[in-house]
Structure 1
Amino acid sequence: MVRTLPYGAWPSPVDAALAAAHGGQPEAVGFVGEEAWWTEPRPAEGGRRTLVRRTADGREVSVLPPPWNVRSRVMEYGGRPWAGAMRPEGPLVVFVHFADQRLYAYEPTAPDSRPRPLTPLSPVGGGLRWVDPRLHLERGEVWCVLEEFTGDGPTDVRRVPAAVPLDGSAAEDRDGVRELTDARHRFVTGPRLSPDGRRAAWLAWDHPRMPWDGTELLVAEVTGEGTLREPRTVAGGPEESIAQAEWAPDGSLLYVSDRTGWWNLYRDGTPLCPREEEFGGPLWKVGLQWFAPLDDGTVAVVHGRGAGRLGILDPVGGEVVDVAGPWTEFAATLAVHGSRVVAVGAGPRTAYEVVELDAATGHARVIGAAHEDPVDPAFYPEPRIRTFTGPGGREVHAHIHPPRHPEYAAPEGAPPPYVVWAHGGPTSRAPLVLDLEIAYFTSRGIGVAEVNYGGSTGYGRAYRDRLRGQWGVVDVEDCAAVALALADEGTADRDRLAVRGGSAGGWTAAASLTSTDVYACGTIVYPVLDLASWGSGGTHDFESQYLETLVGAYAEVPGRYFERSPVEHADRITVPFLLLQGLEDPICPPAQCERFLARLQGRRIPHAYLAFEGEGHGFRRAETMVRALEAELSLYAQVFGLNPPGIPTLELTE
C-alpha cells in the first residue's frame, strides 16, 4: 500500500554514506598478458585509487595496498597512470604514485617485491610529473609524457614526450630521462609506436587553444638510437580537433577528427564511418581512448549522439554492431587483446562496471567492479531523456529524474521541488547512468534535472561552440529554460527550484544566482567565481587561457569579465546558498570563495561555507562526500520547507 507523505519527507535507504561508498568508477583499463587490469576508487581509504587485476581464476585482486595511489597530476586532471606487460617471470607494471608523482616499477608476483622508483624528484615548483606510459621492453624503456615545472608559478611548466629507463638509472638522475623531442608545443600526448617500430605518432596543441578547439597529429620517424626525427603534421590544425590517434596492426594510422563538425574515425585521412555522431570526445585527460583497433581489421569504438555506446566497426562496409546489454553509456577507456575488448560501461540502472566483449561472438559479460544493488532498485529514479526549447528556439538537452519511492507518494496535485544540476567542464556532458547521489534526492521526493546546456559535448561541434564567448550566458539561460519549462508543465514546483554544480558547474550555479530570479537557493561546489583572477595566474596551466574562447580575450573585452563574474555581483544574491570547497584545489583555489564571501558581508543572506582539508578539485574522501551531501539536503529542506528524517541540520549564517 502506498502511503501519502509530503515531498522531502519520504524515508530512504539511500543515505549519504551509501552514496559516498559508491562514488567514482573504474578507469584506465588495460591488458597485462591475458589478464584485464584497471584502476578503481577507494573512498574509504582516503580517496586513493588502486590498481586491480582479474586473475585467470576470475578473482579481482587489488595489486597495491594503501597508501599507494595510482593517479597522475599532469595538467592537474591527470590521465592514464599505468602500463603493464607480462614476462616469463611474471607481470611488470609501471605506475604514477599520486603523493610524489614519481613513476614506479612493480613486480607484484616477485618475492618481497616493492615498488621501486624510476624517476627522480624535483624541488622546482610542482616538480616532475608523468602520464600516459607505454612499456617498450625491447628498448628497456617506458615512453610517456613528462611535465616539468621550471619555476614556482602554475604556468612555469613544459611538456615533452620522454623515455624513462626501466633499470632505475634515472631514479635519482634527471639527466637519465631521455627527451624524445624538443618542447616546441605546450601540450602533448604520449607517443604511439607503429607496429614496425619505425614511426611514432602523438597529438600536440598550444595556448590559447583547448584540445577540443584544435590539435595537431604529429608523426616522426624513429632512428636506430630510439630518437625521433623532425615531426610532420599529418592532420589537424587550429580549427580541427584530433581527439585520439592509434596505429592499426597493418601499419595504417587511425585517428578521430571533427573536421566535418562531428568527431569521426579516419584511416590515413579517409573516413571509415561518416555519421552525424561522435566517435571521440573532449581530451580532458591524457590517454583517453574512444577506439582501439583489433587484429582482424575491425575497430572497437565508443560512439553515439548524446551517449557513448560500445560497438565494433567494420571499416570495409562502414557498419557498427553495438554490444547488447544494460549498458547505454561507455567511458573513454578501451583495451583489446586478440578478439577481446575491455571497456567500462553503465546505464540508468547500472553503475559503471568493467565489461568484456568477445568481438568474434558478440557476447559481453561483466568481469570487474560488478554492479550490485545496495538497495531495492525501486528506490532508483526512472530518468527521461528530453529536449527543451531555449532562447531563440535552440535545443537544450537534459535528463529528468522525477521523485520515485515504492512506498510513498505526495499529496495529489502537489508538484515536487527540483534541483537543476549543471555539469562541470563546461566542455563535458552529464552521462545518463545510475548515480546514487541523484537517488539520494529522488528517493526522498526531490527531482533532479541534469542539463546538457549549449557547450556540452556529444552533440557535434556546433552545439559545443554555442558557448564560445557566451560562458555565463548560454549555460545560465539553458538551465533556466529547463527549470521554467518543468514548472510551466506542472512537473516541478515553481517556488521550489534550486541549482547546483561543481567546478564549471559551480560557476553556472553562482552565475544563475547572481543573474536570474529562477531559483530559491543553490549549491556551489569548488567553483570559478572571478574570471579576471582565474584567467591571470589564478588557476593551473591547462585552463589558464580557456577563457579566451569561453569569454573572449581580456584585452579586448575586459568589461565582459567584470559583468559576468559572480564575485563582482555578490550583492545581487537574494536567496540562501551553500558553498563547498576543497582547501588543496589547484584548479579553483579557495581564495575565490573567500573573496566572494567577503563581498557578501552585511547582506544578511543565509548561507554556509564548508571547506575541507585534504580535498582538491573533486571530493574523493568518503567523510567529505557524506558531509557535503547531507549539508546540501539540509539546505533544500530549510528553504523548501521539507522534513527529511535523520538529516543533520546545516547551520546557515547571515
Structure 2
Amino acid sequence: MVTTAPYGGWTSPIDARTVAAHDGRPAFAGVVGDEVWWTEPRPGEGGRRALVRLRPDGTEESVLPAPWNVRSRVLEYGGQPWAGAVTERGPLVVFSNFADQRLYAYAPDSDEAPRPLTPHSAVGDGLRWADPVLRPELGEVWCVLEEFTGDRPTDVRRVIAAVPLDGSAAEHRASVRELSDDRHRFVTGPRISPDGRRAAWLAWDHPRMPWEGTLAMVARITGEGGFADIRPLVGDLGPGEPHGGAAGESVAQIEWAADGSLLFVSDAGGWWQLRRIDPEATGDGSASGRALCPARQEEFGGPLWTVGQRWFLPLDNGTLAVIHGLGATSLGILDPVSGELVDAAGPWTEWAPSLAVHGSRVIGIAAGPHSSYEIVELDTCTGRARVLACRHTDVLDPAYYPRPLHRTFTGPDGRDIHAHICPPHNPDHRAPEGELPPFVLWAHGGPTGRAPLVLDLEIAYFTTRGIGVAEVNYGGSTGYGREYRERLRGQWGVVDVEDCAAVARALADEGTADRARLAIRGGSAGGWTAAASLAATDLYACGTISYPILDLTGWATGETHDFESRYLDSLIGPLDEVPDRYRERSPLHRADRITAPFLLLQGLDDVICPPSQCERFLAEVAGRGIPHAYLSFPGEGHGFRRAKTIVRAVEAELALYTHTFGIARDDVPALELRG
C-alpha cells in the first residue's frame, strides 16, 4: 500500500546503523601466489582496516586480528600498505601498522607473531612507510620512506629505501639503506624492470600537486643493490631539471613492459593517456612516448592522492588491463599494437585504481549504481567477469535504492557542469499533489576528485525519507579532462560555489526541487565549498559542514600536512602575491554574511583540516544569532571511520534538515541548535 506523506516525512527501511555498518570499501587488492588479498574497513572495530585473504578453495579469512590496522600514513592519505610473496614457509606479508607506523613482517601460516622491521623515531611524526615491493632474493623490502626531521608538518623528507627482512633495522635506523636521494620532495615506490637492472618511480615537488606535474625517474640498479645514474625520463621536466621540457605534465602511473620499455600515463595531451617510451630516451622533453590508444579522448588515469594507485597493468601476453572512461569508468583490455580496446561486461560503472594481475586474470575493485564495491576477477581468456569477494548483498529491497541520473547542466559563461541527481524515491510513499521535494547539494572533497555514480547507502538514507540529493562534479573535478580540471585554478571558492548554485537553481527552475528547501553539504574541500556557499549566497536554507577548511591563511601557514601545504598556490594563488584573496574568500572572515543554520562536524585528531579552524570560525559566529550545532569526535581523523561516529553524524544531519524544513519526524535525536 502506498502512503501519501510529505517529502522528508517518509518511513525508511534504512537506519543510520546500517549506513555505518556498510561505510567504506575494499582497497589495495593484490595477489600472493594463487591467493587474492586486500584490505577492507571494519567500522564496528574502531574503524580499523583489516587485511583479508581469499584462498584458492574460496575460503575467506582475516589475516590479522584486531587491533592490527593495515594502513599507512604516508602523505597522511596513505598508500599501498602491504606487499606479499610466497616463500618456502608459505606466504610472507610485509605491512604498515597504523598505530605505530612501523613495518612488520608476518608469516600467517606459522605460529609466529608479526615482527617489526623498522624502528621508532621520536622526531616529529617519526618514520612512515608505503608502497612496498618485496625483494626476497635480496632479503629486503623496497618502499617509500617518509621521515620527519623536526616538529613542523613540513619538516619531512622522502626517499626510496631498502629495509632488511631479517629485522636488523627494527632498532637501528642506520640499517635502512636509502636507494634514492632526496632531491625531490615526493616519491612513489619503485617499479623494477623485468630483467632486474632498472628501477622507475614518480617524483614531484612543491608547489605542484601530482596532478599538476610529476616526473618519471629511472635509475640503474647496481650489483650491490643500489641506485646509480638517477635521471628524469619523461614528465614535468621543469626549470629545476637539467633538460628543461614540457611544464605541467602529470604522469600518474608507470609500469615496465615485458620487452623492457616503460609504460606510463601522461596528461600532456589534455587527457591522461597511456604511452610507451624507451628507457634509453634522453629525457630532454622531446620524446614524449608513443600513445597507445590515441583515438580515445578520455581518462586512463586520475589524481594521485595515495601512492601505489594503479589504473593499468601489463598482462603476460602483452596486452594491458586498463581502467578508463569519461566521468564513469570501465575495465578494458587494450592491445597496445593495434589500439583495440575491449571492455569487460558487467553491471559495474566505477573501478577503483587498484588492479592486480595473475597470469591471464585481472583483479579489480568495482561498483555500480545498484551495487557496492566488490572484488572482481576478469578472465581475459574467456572474457568472463565474476565477483570473487566482498560480494554485494542487498541489505534492503533494491526497490528502495536511489535512482540516480547523470545530467549535464549549464553554468556561468555557458560552461558544462556534471552532476548525479537522486530524486526522493520510496515505493511505499508518494508526496501530496503539487508538493516539491527538499534537495541537498553534495560537494565532493578534494577538490581535485569527483563523486562516482555508485550505490551509496548514505544517499539512500535521505532519498528513502523523501529528501533528494544532487552530487555535483563542479569545475575542477577529475574524469573530464585537464581543461575541466583546471577551471578551479585560482578560482576555488568561486567556480565550485557557482557550479553548485547553478545546479540548485536549475533543479528549482524546472520544478524538480523546492526552492525554499535547498541545502548544501560537504566534507574536507567539500566542507569548504559548503561553508563558502552559505557565505556567498542566500540560496540555501541550511548546510552541513564536515572537517572543513575555513581559514585559507591559517591552512597555508602551517595548519595542514606537508602534502597539501602548497595546494592553495594553484587553487587560490601564491599567498605572498594575493594575500587579500586568502582573506576575502575564507568563510572565517565572511561569517557575518552567513544567515542560514548549519551543522559543523569535526574529528579532533584531524591533522589535515584541524579543529582549530572550526574553533576560530565558531568564535566569529558566536553572538550573531545564527542557529548552529558543533559536534566533535575524539579519536576521529580526516573523515569518519567509527560506526558510532557515523551514526551520530548521519542522524544529526537529518535532524538539521527536518528542523529547518519544518518536517515532523520522531525517529532521530533532536539537534540542539545554538544562536
Deviations 1:178-219 (A, max 9, x none): 000110000000011101010000000000000000000011
**Rounded Cα–Cα distance in structure 1 between residues aligned with 2:122 and 2:534:** 42
Deviations 1:296-349 (A, max 9, x none): 000001100001211111112111111111111000100001001000000000
1:47 pairs with 2:50: no
**Rounded Cα–Cα distance in structure 2 between residues aligned with 1:127 and 1:534:** 22
Deviations 1:253-296 (A, max 9, x none): 10000010000000111110012100000000000110010000
Return the offset for 1:136: 0.9
**Rounded Cα–Cα distance in structure 1 between residues aligned with 2:216 and 2:56:** 38
Letter in structure 1 aligned against 2:78: G
Aligned to 2:88: 88
Residues 403-422 of structure 1: matches in 2 within 5 Å? 403-422=424-443
**Rounded Cα–Cα distance in structure 2 between residues aligned with 1:292 and 1:52:** 22
Return the offset for 1:643: 2.1
**Rounded Cα–Cα distance in structure 2 between residues aligned with 1:168 and 1:233:** 33
Q: TM-score normalised to the size of structure 1? A: 0.99
Return the offset for 1:408: 0.4
1:239 equivalent among 243, 248, 256 = 248
1:344 pairs with 2:365: yes
Letter in structure 2 aligned against 1:578: L
Residues 37-436 of structure 1: matches in 2 within 5 Å? 37-110=37-110, 112-237=111-236, 238-268=247-277, 269-274=289-294, 275-436=296-457
Letter in structure 2 aligned against 1:464: R
Of 144-153 and 642-651, more deviation after overlay is shown by 642-651
**Rounded Cα–Cα distance in structure 2 between residues aligned with 1:56 and 1:358:** 15
Return the offset for 1:88: 2.8
Deviations 1:122-181 (A, max 9, x none): 000000000000101111110100000000000000000011011111010000100001
**Rounded Cα–Cα distance in structure 2 between residues aligned with 1:579 and 1:45:** 25
Q: Is the 8 A contact 1:11 1:645 kept in 2?
A: no
**Rounded Cα–Cα distance in structure 1 between residues aligned with 2:434 and 2:383:** 48
Q: Is the 8 A contact 1:388 1:482 kept in 2?
A: yes
Deviations 1:337-388 (A, max 9, x none): 1001000000000000100110111111111111000000111110000000
Return the offset for 1:230: 2.5
1:509 pairs with 2:508: no
**Rounded Cα–Cα distance in structure 1 between residues aligned with 2:380 and 2:322:** 11
Return the offset for 1:35: 0.6
Aligned to 2:655: 634
**Rounded Cα–Cα distance in structure 2 between residues aligned with 1:644 and 1:421:** 23
Return the offset for 1:645: 4.1
Letter in structure 2 aligned against 1:207: H
Q: Is the 8 A contact 1:586 1:617 kept in 2?
A: yes
SS at match of 1:318: coil
Return the offset for 1:644: 3.1
Aligned to 1:541: 562
Gaps of 5+ in 1: none
Q: Which consecutive segments of 4 or more residues in structure 1 shift more than 2 A?
A: none
SS at match of 2:506: helix
Letter in structure 1 aligned against 2:251: I
Return the offset for 1:466: 0.3
SS at match of 1:306: coil
**Rounded Cα–Cα distance in structure 2 between residues aligned with 1:78 and 1:244:** 16
Deviations 1:27-80 (A, max 9, x none): 000000011100000000000001000011102111010000000000100010
Q: Is the 8 A contact 1:444 1:644 kept in 2?
A: no
Deviations 1:397-423 (A, max 9, x none): 000001100110101111100000000
Gaps of 5+ in 2: 237-246, 278-288
Aligned to 2:285: none
CA RMSD of aligned residues (A): 0.6
**Rounded Cα–Cα distance in structure 2 between residues aligned with 1:416 and 1:289:** 41
**Rounded Cα–Cα distance in structure 2 between residues aligned with 1:510 and 1:98:** 31
SS at match of 2:40: strand
**Rounded Cα–Cα distance in structure 2 between residues aligned with 1:405 and 1:210:** 43
**Rounded Cα–Cα distance in structure 1 between residues aligned with 2:235 and 2:536:** 38
**Rounded Cα–Cα distance in structure 2 between residues aligned with 1:582 and 1:195:** 45
Return the offset for 1:250: 2.1
Q: Is the 8 A contact 1:416 1:447 kept in 2?
A: yes
Q: Is the 8 A contact 1:280 1:290 kept in 2?
A: yes
Aligned to 2:502: 481
Return the offset for 1:617: 0.1
Deviations 1:571-624 (A, max 9, x none): 111010000000000000000000000001110111000000000001000000
Residues 633-652 of structure 1: matches in 2 within 5 Å? 633-652=654-673
Letter in structure 1 aligned against 2:267: D
**Rounded Cα–Cα distance in structure 2 between residues aligned with 1:85 and 1:228:** 23
Letter in structure 2 aligned against 1:71: R
Letter in structure 2 aligned against 1:240: E
Q: Is the 8 A contact 1:503 1:526 kept in 2?
A: yes
